[in-house]
Amino acid sequence: MENNYTVLITGANRGLGLEAVKQYSEAGWQVIATCRAPDSAIELNQLAKASQSVSVYQLDMNDLKSMTLLAQQLDQQAVDLLWCNAGVYGPKGVGLGEITADVWMDTLKVNTVAPLLLVQQFLPHIRRSQQKTIALMTSKMGSMGDNTSGGSYIYRSSKAGLNAVGKSLAEDLHSESIKVVLLHPGWVKTDMGGPSGLIDVTTSIKGLRQVVELLTLENSGSFYAYDGQEIPW
């Protein structure tokens, strides 16, 4: 089942990122699994020990230097699929009247700004690959069309901003045959999704992998859920 493709995944130590590492390595991909604290990424290190296709690297999405260092470390390597998965919800239960700029900025930095900075660092690696794909893990909560319940100002705005980033990337990179997709994983049982989530990580990542596989230059820049449904902006 081995192939010549390489995927780079951020936030690969737990939740959806860890499951993506498992599934892509089982599917024969080379997996560059990144996380901010490799020494304490127990499950991820076990996966890397058991499979030669998984390698673990340090990457903090809050730290431009760590992005630059990783891009240099992997210089000359091709990255077929750059999967920006890492994200934070931000403070929970903070409603209108209680929001401060500092906590908002922290969330925007990881969810909105960092994915674009990472793409900038890895464009040379993507350009030299075969699949030339960028997947951005966003959320239905970033959709205006889907927002009928209000609230969640910080998380919603961070993912709406990421959607705008993804759409512009798709337009700008079309002529280079680089595809971009915005992904909603569903409401998933993870630390972020909580135990009431509607689906498990296996179902979510299986569906998302299929969405990515079916992506073409024609639908590049679209926003899809894990079950293939297109989501309104």
Ligand X SMILES: NC(=O)c1ccc[n+]([C@@H]2O[C@H](COP(=O)([O-])OP(=O)(O)OC[C@H]3O[C@@H](n4cnc5c(N)ncnc54)[C@H](OP(=O)(O)O)[C@@H]3O)[C@@H](O)[C@H]2O)c1
Does 153 engage in binding with ligand X (CB under 6 A)? no
Least Cα distance to 93 among 152, 33, 13, 134 occurs for 152
Q: List the one residue from 192, 203, 206, 219 that touches ligand X (CB under 6 A).
A: 192
Query: Helix, strand or coil for residue 105?
Result: helix
Q: Which stretch binds ligand X (CB under 6 A): 99-107, 172-180, 186-194, 221-229?
A: 186-194
Q: List the one residue from 187, 200, 206, 217 that touches ligand X (CB under 6 A).
A: 187
Closer CB to ligand X, residue 11 or residue 221? 11
Q: List the one residue from 55, 58, 62, 147 that touches ligand X (CB under 6 A).
A: 62
Q: List the one residue from 193, 215, 221, 226 that touches ligand X (CB under 6 A).
A: 193
Q: Which residues is 102 bridged to in the sheet?
A: none
Query: Helix, strand or coil for residue 56?
Result: strand
* Cα 41 from Cα 82, distance rounded (Å): 20
Minimum Å gap between C-beta 181 and ligand X is 14
Cβ atoms within 10 A of the Cβ of 86, count?
A: 26
**Residues 104, 90 contacting (CB under 8 angstroms):** yes
- Report in angstroms the alpha-carbon separations of 53 from 16, 25, 35, 123, 205: 18, 6, 17, 22, 18
Minimum Å gap between C-beta 2 and ligand X is 26
Strands 179-184 and 54-58, sheet pairing: unpaired
Does 116 engage in binding with ligand X (CB under 6 A)? no
Does 166 engage in binding with ligand X (CB under 6 A)? no
Does 61 engage in binding with ligand X (CB under 6 A)? yes
Minimum Å gap between C-beta 176 and ligand X is 25
Q: Which residues bind ligand X (CB under 6 A)?
A: 10-11, 13-17, 35-37, 60-62, 85-88, 110, 137, 139, 184-185, 187-188, 190-193, 197
